[in-house]
């Protein structure tokens, strides 16, 4: 198989992708890992959805943005799940209120229902498949917030490669013999997913490494994709060490752990607070600010106190 057949074969670990801003996402950098690349290679080759599991703020949805860029289309579709999300919402939505309103006006009702059926994100992705030369990416974010019917309905559509729309005289929406959109699904593990659904997915467990120093190094490496932030190596290392200490304290106390998202927030804040400082003073000022404000980013729960970090930690 050549890289043209599977576009993710051309990716190399530890390389960075710059993701432009969009209507929904800010500009960002993505550092490709071997695990992410291999999971996408398999999902593409097996023509299966990719389920990305991991804690909140670990960069799960960003994988879909980076994958869309590889496929030549930064405008991926997004469907953020909410607790009231229904299985049909991915496919279509019938606006019964508009239909009922038109029914009260003589001659206004559309008997075909075409005016009242709104295409869901999966339907839109399947249409894009016919209209463009690239394979669209559909990000279904936080599917664990939805009822079990949502992943089961998605599995049924992906298995059959089609679905019907009863309000449109049982119209069949199908990709025919073409490749389905690349579907990337994220979960924060708030609710267990149906086992049959998980079995039909390629699964990427996006977990930070074990071990204190390994986790600190991982944070610093991930943070370097935000190269536009004028944060010194000393401050980056100390921030990572503080995140690690407070993460450990949170877990021991039974609280959700802090991690990459909070680390990037600290870097962004240090950049904002010190970007106008003279360069020779910036390192010291950033460490001062870090020790002053990090508690508000990392200590999230009542009764919890910030874990101490030695004065020598993170000084490069």
Report the pLDDT value the prediction gives residue 116, as an integer from 0 to 100: 96
What pLDDT score was predicted for residue 240? 96
| 81: Cα separation from own chain's centroid | 12
pLDDT in tens, the chain (316 residues): 334 489 999 999 999 999 888 888 888 889 999 999 999 999 999 999 999 998 887 889 999 999 999 998 777 888 889 888 888 999 999 999 999 999 999 999 999 999 999 999 999 999 887 777 788 999 999 999 988 888 988 888 988 889 999 999 999 999 888 888 999 999 988 888 999 899 999 999 988 888 999 999 999 998 988 877 899 999 999 999 999 999 999 888 888 889 999 999 999 999 999 999 998 899 999 999 999 999 999 988 877 777 776 544 444 4
pLDDT (0 to 100) of residue 291: 93
**Residues 181/135, Cβ–Cβ less than 8 Å:** yes
SS3 content of the chain, % helix, strand, coil (to 5): 45, 15, 40
Token pair of 88, please?
């049909």
Q: Give the predicted TM-score (pTM) of the model.
A: 0.85
Residue 221 tokens, joined: 């490496």
Are the CB atoms for 53 and 206 separated by under 8 Å? yes
Domain boundaries, the chain: 7-205, 212-298
User: For residues 124 and 313, what is the distance between their CA atoms, to the nearest angstrom?
Assistant: 51
Distance CA 258, CA 244 (A): 8
pLDDT for residue 309: 66
Residues contacting residue 136 through CB under 8 Å, at least 6 positions apart: 68, 71, 73, 76, 77, 125, 128, 129, 181, 182
pLDDT of amino acid 266: 95
CATH number of this structure's domain 7-205: 3.40.50.300
pLDDT, position 294: 93
């Amino acid at each position: 198989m050549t890289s043209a057949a599977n576009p993710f074969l051309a990716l190399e670990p530890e390389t960075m992708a710059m993701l432009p801003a969009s209507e929904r996402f800010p500009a960002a950098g993505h550092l490709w890992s071997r695990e992410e690349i291999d999971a996408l290679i398999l999902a593409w080759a097996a023509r299966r959805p990719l389920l990305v599991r991991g804690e909140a703020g670990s960069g799960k949805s960003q994988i879909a943005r980076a994958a869309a860029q590889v496929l030549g289309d930064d405008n991926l579709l997004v469907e953020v799940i909410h607790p009231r999300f229904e299985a049909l919402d991915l496919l279509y939505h019938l606006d019964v209120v508009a239909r009922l309103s038109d029914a009260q006006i003589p001659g206004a009702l559309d008997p075909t229902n075409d005016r009242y059926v709104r295409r869901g994100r999966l339907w839109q992705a399947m249409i894009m498949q016919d209209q463009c030369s690239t394979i669209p990416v559909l990000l279904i974010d936080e599917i664990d917030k939805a009822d079990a019917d949502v992943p089961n309905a998605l599995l049924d559509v992906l298995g059959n490669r089609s679905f019907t729309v009863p309000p449109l005289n049982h119209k069949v929406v199908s990709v025919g013999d073409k490749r389905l959109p690349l579907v990337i699904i994220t979960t924060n593990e708030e609710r267990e997913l149906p086992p049959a659904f998980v079995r039909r997915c390629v699964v990427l467990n996006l977990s930070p490494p074990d071990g204190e120093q390994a986790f600190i190094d991982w944070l610093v490496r991930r943070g370097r994709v935000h190269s536009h932030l004028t944060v010194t190596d000393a401050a980056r290392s100390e921030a990572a060490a503080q995140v690690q200490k407070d993460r450990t304290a949170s877990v021991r106390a039974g609280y959700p752990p802090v991690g990459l998202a909070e680390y990037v927030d600290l870097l962004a804040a240090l950049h904002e607070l010190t970007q106008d400082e003279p360069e020779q003073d910036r390192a010291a000022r950033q460490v001062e600010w870090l020790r002053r404000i990090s508690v508000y980013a990392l200590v999230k729960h009542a009764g919890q106190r910030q874990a101490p970090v030695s004065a020598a930690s993170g000084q490069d």
